[in-house]
Amino acid sequence: MSNAANAYARTAQQSSSPRDIEAQTLLMAARKLVEVQQDCNKADRRFQAALLFNRRLWTIFMTAAESNDNPQPVEIRQNIRNIAMFVLQRTVELQSTPTPEKIQSLININSNIAAGLAGRA
């Protein structure tokens, strides 16, 4: 199982609702990105690990949004898919040309969605 999936599972055991689990995992991914933001270097293992964690997390979200079993309205599922596609595209850009500004967009997305899930938006 991937690090993102393991973290998601660990968080699930400690939380009470799926929204809380998703919010906490998004914040974990945002923290990992913040830790490498100022010294972003595509050869750095921590940088690559932070990108990989975030990419895997958003792949999980996208897969869930595309599932026929997902109870969310189609519009919400499409929005999640669109955000996931942006995150995945930005991740590819960061792997070739890392900049703190590009990382900040991923941090903002994760933090804002986590705040919305936690009811703080």
Label each residue of the chain as H, E or C: CCHHHHHHHHHHHHCCCHHHHHHHHHHHHHHHHHHHHCCCCCCCHHHHHHHHHHHHHHHHHHHHHHCCCCCCCHHHHHHHHHHHHHHHHHHHHHHHCCCHHHHHHHHHHHHHHHHHHCCCC
Quote the pTM value: 0.82
**pLDDT the model gives residue 12:** 53
Which CATH number is associated with domain 3-117?
Answer: 1.20.120
Q: Where are the domains of the chain?
A: 3-117
Q: State pLDDT tens for residues 40-68.
A: 877 789 999 999 999 999 999 999 999 99
Tell me, what's the pLDDT at 14?
Answer: 57
